[in-house]
Amino acid sequence: MARIIPPESWILGKQLDLISNKSILWTAYGLRSLSKTSTLYMKRNTEHDPPYWRDPIWMNVNYMILSALKHCSLVNGPYRERAKTIYDGLRSNLIRTITKLGFCGNNMIRSRKREEVLNCLLAGPHFSY
């Protein structure tokens, strides 16, 4: 999605399918960094290392995808309108999440029992990368 895929490519259409699919990456809070269908989903990296990049909604990843979606929505191609629709939805979800939390951290965790943002890791009003 990082503006590498030509706007007329069928591959872009497949990428849009993946990011907008609620059972794969899409949530009401932002995009997951890894699909729920992955065997690595919510698996720890090591005994003492939590599952970074394996479920949290990482803001830096969402920002890069938002940027690519915005680009795709402005250039001519068969997926222009669809990219715009997904961009608008993702942007709204992220703004709502940040507003609810009161700040933006590097990643956000969902409750396993309900679709609710619980907290931001690396909490505080700082955002890095």
Counting the structural domains of the chain, the total is: 1
pLDDT tens for residues 8-56? 999 999 999 999 999 899 998 889 888 888 887 777 778 887 766 666 7
Work out the angle between the directed axes of helices 80-101 and 59-74 (0-180°, nearest 10): 150
Which domain covers residue 108, as residue numbers?
10-121
Q: Are 43 and 68 within 8 A, CB to CB?
A: no
> What pLDDT shows up at residue 26?
94
What tokens were used for 128? 């890095």
Residue 4 lies in a domain: no
Q: Are 8 and 29 within 8 A, CB to CB?
A: no
Residue 98 lies in a domain: yes
Which letter does DSSP use for residue 76 in this model? -
- Give the type of residue at 68: A
Residue 74 lies in a domain: yes
Work out the angle between the directed axes of helices 10-20 and 80-101 (0-180°, nearest 10): 30
Going by pLDDT thresholds of 50, 70 and 90, the confidence category of residue 71 is: very high
Neighbours of 89 (CB within 10 A): 14
Predicted TM-score (pTM) of this structure: 0.77
pLDDT tens for residues 88-123? 999 999 888 888 776 665 555 554 444 444 444 333
Residue 67 lies in a domain: yes
What tokens were used for 53? 């990049």
CA distance 69 to 65: 6
Residue 62 lies in a domain: yes
